[in-house]
Amino acid sequence: MRGARQVKTFGRIHLTASGFAALPLLIVAAVVAALFVFPWLVASPYLLHLMILLFLSVAMGESWNVIGGYCGQYSVGHAAYFGVGAYAALMLLQYKHIAPWWGVWVAIAAALIISLLIGTICFRLRGPYFVLASIAVAEIIRLVVLNWKQLTNGAEGILLVDIPPLMLGGRLVTDWLSKTPFYYLGLILALATLLVNYLVQHSKLGYYLQAIREDQDAAHSLGINLSFYKNVALAISALLTALSGVFYGLYIGFIDPASVLGVDLSVQMVLICIIGGIGTNFGPVVGALVLVPLSEALRANLLSKFLFSIGVVQETSRVGGFLKENLAHAHVLIYGILVVVVILFMPDGVLGFGKKLIARRARPLSATPTPLVGGLDGST
């Protein structure tokens, strides 16, 4: 009975064309509205900083998700696009005094060109070979940037002095002095990447990509042009990643090859998706929600403070001093432990794991399968 009623009520407010249920839409709208008023209510710069990091992680994860999640091509070289985007925008700003809202187009163009180059080389390869090739290409770019000192300032990196104020129709929009403009920029970036993911997933392109992910040879025999669609997915992913890179460069104000082109950055993008749930719209959001607070807690030494407060170790003891000194540097450790745990115990990510738990609990209540599997109707 319960199942039947559900169908009825949801059937009325169901937006049939897009396969989008109204309740989740309302929740998303409420969360977005809350995020937009957040800076008015909260003045703490540290909280804003945390939120900006969260948005950046979401944007990076969602960008990678297009190629890695939907298309199944595990690129571990996405730092290339991130770094190229950041370098293009910051070099133009710093050396040529070109404002970032113009420089960003150059960054996008550069990332697209590189993605085409990488795509034509790497997409001839499959599985582990593709992973290795993507790392190798990113490493080549990192080493070239590191050694081309006249152009990129090498290992010293680029320190951003200031960003010109943004004027629109003679009115000052922002002078970039507080964290608020970055907050909104980050929020818009995160929402845009989410939207792109949604659009990709529910378009013909997305179905092609998922077909490629599930079985390349079958997809090929059905007439899907493998290298074309893989390249399209990579181009979308590279574009979004480059935007994240530009945002990172402008916000942090300092870039060097180690921070924006390193392999660990590429790994981080993959981890955000893996931990949250790969190939799903909200997986990277969940991943970022897990990773950012955890690594920030370690960085700010909250964990060692917690250990001291519950009395496991004394702050004044040798072990305590050691933990206080070093635990802050090991925030990457949490990434490693998390990914091992996730792969071993919840291969569908936190999101998939949660869904499974809910499904297990819901099954005894409604014997009839709920027809509300979002997005599947109308696709056949």
List of residues contacting another protein (CB under 8 A): 72, 74, 76, 121, 124-125, 127-129, 131-133, 135-137, 139-140, 143-144, 146-147, 263, 267, 270-271, 274, 326-327, 329-330, 332-333, 335-340, 343-344, 347
Cβ(378)–Cβ(16) below 8 Å: yes
- The answer to whether 18 and 202 are in contact (CB under 8 A) is yes
Q: What is the DSSP letter of 365?
A: T
Of 130, 110, 127, 128, nearest to 119 by C-alpha is 130
Nearest residue (CB) to another protein, 211 versus 327 = 327
User: Residue 130 or 308: which CB sits closer to another protein?
Assistant: 130
Token pair listed for 85:
């985007």
Neighbours of 272 (CB within 10 A): 30
Residue number with CB closer to another protein (140 or 359): 140
CB of 328 to another protein, least distance (A): 10
Report phi then psi at 358, rounded to 5.
-65, -45
Q: Which is nearer to another protein, 35 or 339 (CB)?
A: 339
Task: Name the H helices within 96-153.
Answer: 100-122, 127-147, 149-152
Q: At its nearest, how many Å lie between another protein and the CB of residue 1?
A: 41
- H helices of 42-78, in order, are 45-64
- Compute the least distance from the CB of residue 134 to another protein, in Å: 11
Smallest CA-to-CA distance from 346 within 274, 273, 270 is with 274
Measured from the CB of residue 156, what is the shortest distance to another protein in angstroms?
A: 14
Asked if 376 and 210 count as a contact pair (C-beta separation under 8 A), the reply is no
Q: How far is the CB of 135 from another protein (least distance, A)?
A: 6
What is the closest distance, in whole angstroms, from the C-beta atom of residue 15 to another protein in the complex?
Answer: 34
* DSSP state string for 274-303: HHH-TTSSSHHHHHHHHHHHHHHHHHTTHH
Rounded Cα gap, residues 304 and 298, in angstroms: 8
Least CB distance from residue 117 to another protein, whole Å? 11
Three-class secondary structure of residue 171 per DSSP: strand
Smaller CB separation from another protein, 116 or 330: 330
Give the residue with the Cβ less far from another protein, 340 or 359. 340
* Minimum CB–partner distance for residue 242 and another protein (Å): 22
Q: Which two tokens stand for residue 63?
A: 């960008």
Structure tokens at 328: 């802050």
In terms of CB distance, is 246 or 274 closer to another protein?
Answer: 274
Shortest spacing between CB 166 and another protein, in angstroms: 38
Length reported for the chain? 380
Distances (CA, A) of 199 to 111, 195, 210, 274: 21, 6, 13, 21
Displacement of CA 142 from its chain's centroid (Å): 21
